[in-house]
Amino acid sequence: MKLKFIGLLFILLSLVFCASTQKKIEKARMKDPQYQYNMGLFHLNRNNPDEAIRYFNSALALNPRYDLALNALGLAYSMKGNFEEAVRQYQNCININPALTEVHNNLGTAYQEMGLIDKAEQEFRVAISDVNYRSKELPYYNLARLYLEQGKVEEALSYIERSIEINKSFRMGYNLRGNILERLSRYEEAIESYKTALKNLEGDVDISFNLAVAYFKNNELSKAKEIFEKIYPRVSDLEIKKKIDEYLRMIK
């Protein structure tokens, strides 16, 4: 009986110790800007910008000069479509650390969404000019997208070629390259670009739709029909469903 009592007492003491330790850990986390930032990234990656913003603001309350948190806060507001606030946070970040090249690329994207084309182009070029920037495929991609929207198709193609030259596994780049080649009526090349984008990503509905459209434009109707019918049950966008219905009617 005594041994059982001692065992029970040991368990209770262990539980008290664990609870006390956990409280200390939680208290330390509340004062740790790195932990708050990491939690913000966790929620941002889970497509929960509101919760991400809460954690990024907590990190900044602890360290107002936390440049990475300011950049991430801008991304969270961009995800919510609040580009004015995103720009404000990106500019705050640049004021603290102008050498953080990634924020220039992100700022350019926000400007582009706001229709501030000249400012967007300027920021993308700042990112490209940094010889130490390791993700240059992104500003090259963004410049290609910018020029495509302006109807400067040849310029867009040259920049997207540079983007995928830097990162040969950049699926978004191959997808955009397919869009550009379609605009130039180079359908066979567009098809190959979409197929490259889909490597190890066969389930991507948007790229599969683009591939089917390119097949249709290249008069490979049976291949287009096969893809349209395959992806149709997985399409959630009603506008895309309508477009697929229209293509299938034209094929029949």
- Nearest Cα to 210, choosing from 172, 161, 156? 172
Neighbour tally for 58: CB within 10 Å: 20
- CA dist 202 and 30 (Å) reads 42
Residue 19 pLDDT > 60: no
Q: What average pLDDT score do residues 75-96 get?
A: 98
pLDDT of residue 203: 72
**Domains 29-130 and 135-252 equal at CATH topology level:** yes
The model scores a pTM over 0.75:
yes
Across the chain, what does the average pLDDT equal?
90
pLDDT of residue 5: 46
Residue 3 pLDDT > 50: no
Cα angle for residues 170, 146, 87 (degrees, 5° grid): 95
Q: How far is CA 138 from CA 85, 105, 123, 236, in A?
A: 22, 7, 12, 28
Second-level CATH architecture of 29-130:
Alpha Horseshoe (1.25)
Under 8 Å CB-to-CB from 35, ≥6 apart: which residues? 29
Domain coordinates in residue numbering, the chain: 29-130, 135-252
| Burial classification of residue 16, based on how many CB atoms lie within 10 Å of its CB (0-12 exposed, 13-18 middle, 19 or more buried) | exposed
Q: Say which residue the tokens 């966790």 belong to.
A: 42
Higher pLDDT: 219 or 17? It is: 219
Q: Which CATH number fits domain 135-252: 1.25.40.10, 3.40.1280.10, 3.40.50.970, 1.20.950.20?
A: 1.25.40.10
